[in-house]
Amino acid sequence: MKPKLQLPFKGDYPITFSFGAQATDEELQKKFHEWGIIGHHGIDFGTPEGTNILATGNGKVIQAGTNGDFGISVTIEHSWCQSIYAHLQEARVAVGDRVKTGALIGLSGKIGFVSGAHLHFGIKLNNADPKNGYLGFTDPLIYLPHE
């Protein structure tokens, strides 16, 4: 049985950039090349600034705060994967915190390499291949509820 995660927010926000999508913007194309990825390695949701961002599953916070082009991000280690929540306005958890599904972990923003407010959400399975073209990340939509 495939593990399931809950959405990282309450409400209905559109996917604005899908996993594997190609960059059409020249600056983003350069970043994809710099990062060594062949396509987008997460899902972007069109969350307005200040939207509550929630843990998608139980786990332990292994990264919280400034994280390069991700701006402010939070990474949670779950039993079967890691989830990352990027471009936050602020993190509301600290490294070492244990969180439950649905716990507030931060507020969405537009920090880092972005063109506007959104949440970049990604997952990396425990047995991830770091040479898969997406730095080991996989399509989170497989594990999230959706229509």
Active site residues: 118
Closest of 118, 122, 79, 86 to residue 101, by C-alpha: 79
CA distance 26 to 37: 15
Count of alpha carbons within 13 angstroms of residue 76, beta-carbon side: 30
Tell me if residue 26 falls in helix, strand or coil: helix
**SS3 readout for 71-100:** CEEEEEECCCEEEEEEEEEEECCCCCCEEC
Closest of 5, 29, 7 to residue 81, by C-alpha: 5
Q: Are strands 104-108 and 81-91 parallel, antiparallel or unpaired?
A: antiparallel
